[in-house]
Amino acid sequence: MQYNPGELGAFGSNTTETTEFRLVQPPKEDGASLQFVEFNPEFTYPVFGEQEIAFGYKDLAIQLYYASGSLATYFHLDYSEIFQGVSSSTAGEELRADDIEGKLREFISHDYKTNHDQFTEKVRQDAKEFRPIGEKVHEYSLKDGQEHFEIYKSSFSSEKFRKYHERMQFFMLMFVEGSSYIDSEDEKWDIYTIFKREDETDSKLYHFVGYATVYPFFCWPDKIRMRISQFLILPPFQKCGHGNILYSTIYNEIMTRNDVVEMNVEDPNEDFSDLRDKNDVRMLMKANAFDQLKAPVSDDFVEQARKKYKLTKRQMQRCVEIHLLHHLDKPKAIEYRNYRLQVKKRLYKFNYDALRDMEADERLEKLQETYKGVEEDYHRILELI
């Protein structure tokens, strides 16, 4: 079959728009259809390239369905027409439809099903048999106690969990910018998973909500730093408070460990930075860590607070500044000036390489401009708290 060049565009599909995720669970009543929530990825470039385009299909739908608890997977391509290979007059090469399944197999667990009836049976079976893997470290309720959730801590020392992680890690690629797979052979990873629990008459049903990975790094001479590497709440469960609770659970676990001196975060994006800031400030306020504190705050105070609450120096400085701004009486000129000078002092040190070669007036102007942006951002974070 020969195609005009103008016809070829109809066979191109945006893979972010056409990839359909579903979390599937059995019906509540006999004879009813399976229940599911459907959502799309944020991006698909890790699989399909920077342009996020798949060629060769009209009306494409890339269906990746998961049993809501076990994450047993179903894969199917739905389309109205597939491109038949033809010789390209411009390149002298034969055009073919992309091997979408082949590309996905590089990233998803290979135990997926392609028969929908088998997948349906697996959903029903797993709903009865699946239980979260690992040690339960926290449980909580939302919506006035109507919804119940549990957090489990696991590691790759469990072969069963390693296989489970093979299924869930694909979500991280599709929703967290710049993420990559972690080494599942390294048993030092701590992985925290959240599950929604439904209490049935004779059983419990569990539904996957999200997860975070944490890794220990050596800190001389005999301690470690724990670093949050990955953090994800799936879209159907976002904006409900799960991220705050997961972060606080990890932090509280770390605070109980005498061998850990600090918790830090690997390359946080803006959303996670907000979550981190508001939870750290809430925690410190609740602990009365900054009672009666006013600018200027000494480096010794910051250092002692950092050690006590196991935060990085920069994060503790930010928390101090947010707290001071919250209690700042701006009409008091001296108090406001002291606050500005403290923030600018940190900004100058942090941006020293970029500022040192500027003329004095230009440097002061740039510091003031940066300070204004920081203060505005702090006001935004305080509104979240």
Q: How far apart are the first and last CA of the chain?
A: 62
Q: Which amino acid is at 273?
A: S
As a whole number, mean pLDDT of residues 72-91 equals 83
Collapsing DSSP to helix, strand or coil, 177 comes out as coil
Per residue in 294-312, pLDDT (tens digit) is 999 999 999 999 999 999 9
Per residue in 45-80, pLDDT (tens digit) is 999 999 999 999 999 999 999 999 999 999 999 999
Q: Where in the chain is the domain with CATH 3.40.630.30?
A: 135-267
Res 6: pLDDT? 53
As a whole number, mean pLDDT of residues 165-190 equals 96
pLDDT of 9 > 80? The answer is no
Q: Which residue has the tokens 């009813």?
A: 32
Q: How far is residue 306's CA from residue 316's CA, in Å, rounded to a whole number?
A: 6
Average pLDDT, the chain: 92
Q: How far is residue 297's CA from residue 116's CA, in Å, rounded to a whole number?
A: 63
Structure tokens given for 308: 């006590």
Report residue 202's pLDDT band, with 50, 70 and 90 as the boundaries: confident
Report residue 7's pLDDT band, with 50, 70 and 90 as the boundaries: low
Say which residue, 316 or 94, is predicted with more confidence. 316
Report residue 203's pLDDT band, with 50, 70 and 90 as the boundaries: confident
Q: How far is residue 175's CA from residue 43's CA, in Å, rounded to a whole number?
A: 7
Residue 191: φ, ψ to 5° = -120, 125
Q: How far is residue 320's CA from residue 167's CA, in Å, rounded to a whole number?
A: 41
Q: How far is residue 139's CA from residue 249's CA, in Å, rounded to a whole number?
A: 10
pLDDT of 4 > 60? The answer is no
Contact 155, 191 (CB under 8 A): yes
Say which residue, 85 or 190, is predicted with more confidence. 190
Res 92: pLDDT? 58
Complete DSSP assignment for 55-98: ESEES-EEEEEEETTT--EEEEEE-SEEPPPEE-TTTSSEE---
Of residues 7, 147, 266, 362, which has the active-site annotation? 266
Contact 235, 270 (CB under 8 A): no
Report residue 354's pLDDT band, with 50, 70 and 90 as the boundaries: confident
Question: How many CB atoms are closer than 10 A to CB 185?
Answer: 8
Pairing state between β 53-55 and 57-58: unpaired
State the burial class of residue 65 (Cβ atoms within 10 Å of its Cβ: 0-12, 13-18, 19+): buried
State the burial class of residue 44 (Cβ atoms within 10 Å of its Cβ: 0-12, 13-18, 19+): buried
Res 332: pLDDT? 86
* pTM for this predicted structure: 0.93
Contact 339, 295 (CB under 8 A): yes
Res 141: pLDDT? 97
Respond yes or no: is residue 266 known to be catalytic.
Answer: yes
Please give the annotated binding residues, written as ranges: 231-233, 269
| Cα 125 off chain centre by | 29
Report residue 364's pLDDT band, with 50, 70 and 90 as the boundaries: confident
Looking at residue 134, the DSSP 8-state letter turns out to be S
Please give the annotated binding residues for acetyl-CoA, written as ranges: 231-233, 269
Q: How far is residue 230's CA from residue 63's CA, in Å, rounded to a whole number?
A: 25
CA atoms within 13 A on the CB side of 304: 7
Q: Where in the chain is the domain with CATH 3.90.360.10?
A: 5-129
Per residue in 105-149, pLDDT (tens digit) is 999 999 999 999 999 999 999 999 999 999 999 999 999 999 999
Q: Say what the alpha-carbon torsion angle 303, 304, 309, 314 is, to the nearest 10 degrees.
A: -10
**What's the topology of domain 135-267?**
Aminopeptidase (3.40.630)
Looking at residue 85, the DSSP 8-state letter turns out to be P
Pairing state between β 190-199 and 147-154: antiparallel
Write down the H helix ranges in 200-264. Answer: 242-255
Q: Which residue has the tokens 């060769």?
A: 56
Per residue in 165-176, pLDDT (tens digit) is 999 999 999 999
Query: What percent of the chain has pLDDT above 90?
Result: 81
Per residue in 206-251, pLDDT (tens digit) is 999 999 999 999 999 999 999 999 999 999 999 999 999 999 999 9
pLDDT of 290 > 90? The answer is yes
* Domain 5-129 = CATH 3.40.50.300: no
